[in-house]
């Protein structure tokens, strides 16, 4: 367990009041459709049985497997699976793990075009859904409600954690698993589940620390799109040819990995493999593989860190993109990363803008990420505290029932929906920026709500229907009034005031 060190009084109060608020959220609990959970368990079990029967039809693979391992045959053994796939049957060999075993993770096995592998992966995924998500959920439900714990003392990053069950690990990225599991979460009768999600909060917090002008420009100017621009650069595309999926790859296979400390070799591999895996095409309908061929790139490259990439390979191209990304696009961010590492080497600890100390052994990635991830979560924690107080003060029936690092889940009566949405916007954006003067870029939230009595999986984007929303704060001083009149919104005025007076 990590040692949590609040260095300032502000940090201590945030931790103390945050723990109290999270305890109340735990007591509120989430309503669970227990009948659905029982039905889902039965359906998943039956599907696993059907797939296991289909596996038995692959005599070629199972026969070889049983012949090699005889009485020690174990179809759940990753070591045996890797040996059969890559040594005996001769499928294209991936890299081995540090322990010398064949890689048999989902990403590696998905590259094998064989029905046995597809069924095997589906069974493995369903078994996890069954044991961890559905049965784990059923085990913790009390009288139709789930009461997960939210902890503030276990993560070195100063983010929160969750257990019994891990509410922060409910499936979302896998649509099939998400539909199965999130269908079980429902609001109290006559209510809705509402989720407020901070948009790109870690990127915004990072910009407040490194103050890179280009990054701040991307955040403030909604006509600009960093992920689209990097997808253009990585795949050598014109702006009008970047599709939604191509932009997704630029965001999640280059931009974010680079921010979190990854390098060009891993980015090149992910971007190249995504072309086939996601069947990437341009807006005009041309395959990205054909497009890159027209640009002179036909091979990925060796991806060997011991050898420089060869000119003309995709690996070499992404290496040059990475160099441009840090040296020309975000040089101030790159300098901050180097300075931050040197500061840690000099004194052995780092202070976050929210007043907590990161210390102990940290590698480069931890040094540049922990002081960002912690404050990003603290924005949410502060908002949870203030939201809870405001709800109690207004004597609303809304209940805060969960949090997932950068989002808040509430159980909201239908008649309080617009009031709660406006209140969330006021606290999570306007009051947060007014309270913490180190925030110098716009903060945004995205709100989604379920229909009345709808399950969590049915949530959709929602905007308040109240015309006026919350009354804007009136300027309190002549100096503030001057900024107010020079800018179109309170948020823009606040940002300009802080940049000119606190930079």
pLDDT tens profile 163-183: 999 999 999 888 899 999 999
Which CATH number is 37-123+132-140 given?
1.20.1060.10
Longest dimension (CA), the chain: 86
Given a cut of 50, is residue 476 above it in pLDDT? no
When pLDDT is averaged across residues 101-121 and rounded to a whole number, the result is 83
Rounded to an integer, the average pLDDT of 421-425 is 95
In angstroms, the Cα distances linking 61 to 49, 57, 113, 160, 342 are: 19, 9, 14, 45, 54
pLDDT in tens, 32-88: 999 999 999 999 999 999 999 998 888 888 888 888 888 888 888 888 888 888 888
Please indicate whether the domains covering 9-33+145-203+372-502 and 37-123+132-140 agree at the CATH topology level: no
pLDDT band at 277 (very low <50, low <70, confident <90, very high): confident
Q: Is the dihedral of CA 229, 353, 373, 184 positive or negative?
A: negative
Q: Which two tokens stand for residue 416?
A: 């309080």
With contact defined as beta carbons under 8 Å apart, do 427 and 443 qualify?
no
**CATH second-level architecture of 9-33+145-203+372-502?**
2-Layer Sandwich (3.30)
User: Mean pLDDT highest for which of 85-99, 167-181, 384-398?
Assistant: 384-398
In contact, 310 and 296? CB cutoff 8 Å: no
* Percent of the chain whose pLDDT exceeds 90: 73
Distances from the Cα of 135 to the Cα of 140, 151, 168, 177, 179, angstroms:
9, 23, 17, 14, 16
Residue 88 token pair: 């005996």
Domain ranges across the chain: 9-33+145-203+372-502, 37-123+132-140, 213-329
- 475 pLDDT more than 50: no
Looking at the DSSP assignment, which residues form a beta bridge with residue 350? 358
- Name the average pLDDT for the chain: 90
Collapsing DSSP states into helix, strand and coil, what is residue 74? coil
For residue range 333-345, what is the model confidence (pLDDT) as tens digits? Answer: 999 999 999 999 9
256-282 exposure pattern, b = at least 16 Cβ within 10 A, e = fewer: ebbbeebebbebbbbbbbbbeeeebbb
Residue 445: helix, strand or coil by DSSP? strand
Q: Enter the DSSP assignment of 313.
A: S
pTM: 0.86
| Residue-level pLDDT at 472 | 41
């Amino acid at each position: 367990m990590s040692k949590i060190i609040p260095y300032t009084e502000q940090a201590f109060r945030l931790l103390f009041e945050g723990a109290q608020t999270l305890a109340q959220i735990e007591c509120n609990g989430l309503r669970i459709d227990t009948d659905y959970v029982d039905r889902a368990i039965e359906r998943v079990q039956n599907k696993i049985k059907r797939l296991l029967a289909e596996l038995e039809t692959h005599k070629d693979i199972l026969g070889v497997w049983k012949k090699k391992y005889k009485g020690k045959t174990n179809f759940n053994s990753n070591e045996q699976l890797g040996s059969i796939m890559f040594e005996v049957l001769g499928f294209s060999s991936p890299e081995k793990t540090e322990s010398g075993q064949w890689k048999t993770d989902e990403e590696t096995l998905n590259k094998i075009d064989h029905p046995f592998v597809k069924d095997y992966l589906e069974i493995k995924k369903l078994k996890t859904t069954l044991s961890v998500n559905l049965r784990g959920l059923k085990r913790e439900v009390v009288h139709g409600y789930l009461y997960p714990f939210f902890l503030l003392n276990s993560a070195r990053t100063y983010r929160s954690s969750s257990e019994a069950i891990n509410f922060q690990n409910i499936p979302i990225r896998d649509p099939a698993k998400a539909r199965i599991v999130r269908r079980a979460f429902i609001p109290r009768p006559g209510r809705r589940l509402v989720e407020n999600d901070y948009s790109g909060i870690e990127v915004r917090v990072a910009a407040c620390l490194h103050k890179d002008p280009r990054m701040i420009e991307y955040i403030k100017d909604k006509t600009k799109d960093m992920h689209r621009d990097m997808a253009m650069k990585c795949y050598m595309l014109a702006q009008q040819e970047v599709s939604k999926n191509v932009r997704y790859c630029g965001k999640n296979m280059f931009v974010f990995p680079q921010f979190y400390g990854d390098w060009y070799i891993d980015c090149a591999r992910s971007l190249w493999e995504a072309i086939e895996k996601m069947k990437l095409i341009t807006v005009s309908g041309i395959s990205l593989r054909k497009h890159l061929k027209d640009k002179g790139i036909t091979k990925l490259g060796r991806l060997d860190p011991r050898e420089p990439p060869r000119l003309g390979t995709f690996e070499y191209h992404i290496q040059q993109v990475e160099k441009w990304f840090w040296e020309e696009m975000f040089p101030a961010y790159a300098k901050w990363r180097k300075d931050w590492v040197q500061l840690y080497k000099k004194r052995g600890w780092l202070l976050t803008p929210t007043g907590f100390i990161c210390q102990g052994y940290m590698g480069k990635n931890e040094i540049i990420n922990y002081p960002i991830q912690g404050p990003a979560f603290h924005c949410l924690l502060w908002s949870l505290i203030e939201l809870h107080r405001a709800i109690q003060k207004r004597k609303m029936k809304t209940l805060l029932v969960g949090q997932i690092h950068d989002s808040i889940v509430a159980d909201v009566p239908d008649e309080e929906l617009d009031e709660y949405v406006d209140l969330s916007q006021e606290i999570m954006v306007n009051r947060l920026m007014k309270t913490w003067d180190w925030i110098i870029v716009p903060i945004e939230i995205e709100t989604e709500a379920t229909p009345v009595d709808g399950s969590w999986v049915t949530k959709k984007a929602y905007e308040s229907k109240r015309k006026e929303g919350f009354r804007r704060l009136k300027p309190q001083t002549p100096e503030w009034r001057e900024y107010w009149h020079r800018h179109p919104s309170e948020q823009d005025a606040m940002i300009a005031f802080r940049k000119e007076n606190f930079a």
